[in-house]
Structures are given as C-alpha cells and as structure tokens.
Amino acid sequence: MFSVFGPEPIFQRLSKGDAKVLVTNTSFYEKKIKGLLDRLPSLEFILLTDSSDPLDKKTLSMTKLMREASEEFIIPPTDPEDPALLHFTSGTTGMPKGALHVHQAVLTHYTTGKYVLDFHEGDVFWCTADPGWVTGTSYGIIAPLVNGVTSIIDEEEFDALRWYSILEKQKVNVWYTAPTAIRRLMRMEFVPKEKYDLSYLRLVLSVGEPLNPGAVTWGQKAFGVPVLDNWWQTETGGIMIANYRSVEVKPGSMGKPLPGIIAAIADVDGEKIKIYDQPEKQGHLVLKKGFPSLFRGYLHEEERYQKCFVGDWYISGDLAKIDKDGYFWFIGRADDIIKTSGHMVGPFEVESTLMKHPAVVEAAVIGKPEPSIGELVKAFVVLKEGFEPTDEMRQELIGFARKTMGPAVAPKEISFIESLPKTKSGKILRRLLKARELGLPEGDLSTLEKG
C-alpha cells in the first residue's frame, strides 16, 4: 500500500482484502493502524520492522523474530494458479476494487523485463513508481529480481535535480518512470545530458498515462534516446503493448503488442463483439484471454469481474485504433469519450494539441453537458512560468486549437488551473475535474495526490 495513505484508505484495503498479516513500522502503526484494530477482526499479526520488542499485545517485532528464526526453510509447493498479488484500483464511487493475480504472472514480469525493458546482465535499473502502485510491484520489485539486475530504490518525493544526480551517480542504464515526471522535467530550462553524465542511460520508458508526442522527441534531445511509451493495466498485470529499441518509434503511439499477446480493436455491444480488421477504425481495445498475468478476479466482486469479458476477449475499457503499420494509438477511456455535435472526441487528442502551444505545460479535457450539441469540450490548462491566465491567453489557446483541430472538436471553454488532480501514480483524474465542474459526488479519492 502507498505509505502516504491515511487510516481510511488503509482500512478499506485491509478489510476488503481479508488481510491477516500486516508488515509496517512503529510510526505508521501508531498513527494509522492502532485506531483501526477494532474494525479489523481478521487481522491476526502486525509485524513491526523497526522495533526490537512488541509495543502491545497486537504487535510483534519482526527483527526479533528474524533473529531467532532458523536459517533453514523449505519453500512449500505452489501451484501456478495460486493467488499471489492483490492490487487495488480506484473506483469512481465507493470502495476501490481488488484485482487478483496468480503466481504464474511472474512469467509476464520476466519476459517483459527482458524484451521491453531490455534488461542485460550487469544493468542498473530504476523504476520510480511507488511499490503501492502495480508498476512499483511488478516492475520496481519482481521484474528486476527475476531478471537478476540491480534495482534502485528511492523513497523521496520528486525532485528534478536529485533525480538527475541519481541517474548520474548510480550509472543507471534503464529508467522507467511516468509521463507526469517527464512533463515536470520538460519544464527545466536546460538539456540534462549537457549538465549531467547520462552516458550510461540506454533506455527511458514511460507508463501510467499516454505519453504526448512532444515528450517522446524531447527525450531524444534531453537524454540522447527517445522516451518509449507502453500500455498495460492493473488488470493485465504486465506490459501488453510497447515501443521497443529495435523497432521504429512513432511519437504518440502505444507501440505494438508483445509476442504472444493478441490485441485488437472491436465494437462491443453488450454480449456481442465484432473485431475490426480495417486500419484507423476507432473502437474498444480488447485482448485475447490466455496470457499468464491476466487478473483472475475482482475480490468478492464476481459479477463485476465477469462484465470485463465477452467470450474469449478481455474488454479493457480503453478506446484505441490501429494504423496501417500495426501501431496502436490511444484515444481515451470509454467513460471519458466526449460526444459533441455528432463527433466522438478523445481527451488525449485535444490535450496533446494544447500542449503543443508554447504556453501550456499540461492540460486535461472533459465533456460538459450542453443540450444543443450533446457535450461541449472543456479544457483545464496549466500554464508555464511567465505566462498569465488572462482572457487574451484563453482566446489565443481556443484559436490555436480550432486552427489545429477544427472548430468541431476544439475546446469551447478553457479554465486555468495551478495543477491537475492526479493519482499518486501520475494518472490525471478527469472524472474528478468533471465531478467538480458539475457539482457531482467526487467518488473514491484514496489515491489522490496531495499538494
């Protein structure tokens, strides 16, 4: 779990996950756990990592128990389908849902580490994701472990100069981070490779949000290598579609499916599915079942789990298209698609256009109900330092988008905002922007980044 969680998000996950053992430290126990114990009857053991003695009858000293334990241990037999990991994803309302993965998922972590992250013997790898996020577990811990490479662990908050210093000092070869971090680095007024020795850096990858085309090409200038985007979900358990060092990169594209992964674009209507075979057709991104890391259920929510599948296909909830060369392009979450004047508009397309303007550092787009056209496109924009949020700037950005995209899909409203609401893993919470705009319930905020 994220270490910055407060007591209530912790309670939600421990109770819904039927937790019996909790490993934590004294400070977290005192501040966040102790007051929950009466509500967690299934929690049997609390192991403290930094205490030589139990604090009370509910706790045990992990250091003491490890010191007294035998050095001999026989690993019990494990079936590939035995449960191994439970990752919670935020819902739009109510409790988060827990995606259950099995031991066999490690095969995906190994192969994607080898063929997407391009691990070589002797590599130094840094995944900046918190282990409370699925990327931090799958690719911050498991993938480097089973591939036998050195992994950097850093618990501090984002700091651009310190991050560059880590890359230089630790001679990092492969770096896996998030688009939010890349965009923050892009704000710096210098070229990193000219101030830091980044000659060891062979590969930079990004995941969590779609990576805007400008960020990919910026990486080439900043690091000497492009930033390679890839796509997967908590439910898929590992990388499914990726850009590779060995294949031409199309900036803004998700890349191509991994060997053995069958991905397609489809029209999904209830229990009916039609796979599109023509390029540039927009539809649901679907994956054929059968790969080892596909989740095996939402814990205690079987009906919700079954709704994710039509026949042999997993319905991702994302909309995308495939070009004539087989590259996949992200359109948006199905829930985020804006229907305006007969057009289907993906937020990512509009956001990427706005970010091409020299004044814009970040943007998020929602659909706002408007009876005459269905929904109007509204953008929330974060300006770069030195630019003022004036009416003139608003009209300039609207005009820029209309000229670039056409008046039908360009934003009709723009609000300036100091920062976009994001999860701790860097995903923009468009649903939260929409809820606040329309005065609706904000839903689950347990993973909301503070600040």
Q: What is the residue-level pLDDT of the chain in tens, covering all 451 positions?
A: 888 788 888 888 899 999 999 999 999 999 999 999 999 999 999 999 998 888 888 899 999 999 999 999 999 999 999 999 999 886 544 467 899 999 999 999 999 999 999 999 999 999 999 888 899 999 999 999 999 999 999 988 888 999 999 999 999 999 999 888 898 898 887 889 999 999 999 999 998 878 888 888 899 999 999 899 999 999 999 999 999 988 999 999 999 999 999 999 999 998 899 999 999 999 999 999 999 999 999 999 999 999 999 999 999 999 999 999 999 999 888 877 888 877 778 888 899 889 989 999 999 999 999 888 888 999 999 999 899 999 999 999 999 999 988 887 899 999 999 999 887 767 788 888 998 999 888 776 766 776 5
CATH 3.30.300.30: does it fit domain 337-438?
yes
Question: 38 exposed, middle or buried (CB, 10 Å; 0-12, 13-18, 19+)?
Answer: exposed
Cβ within 8 Å of residue 394, ≥6 positions away: 414, 416
Q: Rounded to 5, what percent of the chain is helix, strand, coil?
A: 30, 25, 45
pLDDT at residue 379 in the model: 95
In angstroms, what is the C-alpha Rg of the chain? 23
pTM of the model: 0.83
CA dihedral 76, 82, 84, 86 (to 10 degrees): -150
Distances (CA, A) of 40 to 44, 259, 265, 306, 444: 9, 44, 43, 29, 21
Question: SS3 of 376, please?
Answer: strand
- Longest pairwise C-alpha distance within the chain: 73
pLDDT at residue 451 in the model: 56
Which residues in the chain are classed under CATH 3.40.50.12780? 85-333
Question: Would you state the structure tokens that stand for residue 151, as one six-digit string?
Answer: 């992994």
Distances (CA, A) of 59 to 33, 39, 302: 11, 16, 34
Q: Where are the alpha helices (DSSP H) in 373-422?
A: 391-405
Q: CA-to-CA distance for 418 and 420, rounded, in angstroms?
A: 7
Whether the CB-CB separation of 276 and 267 falls below 8 Å is answered with yes
pLDDT at residue 92 in the model: 44
pLDDT at residue 450 in the model: 65
Topology, domain 85-333: Rossmann fold (3.40.50)
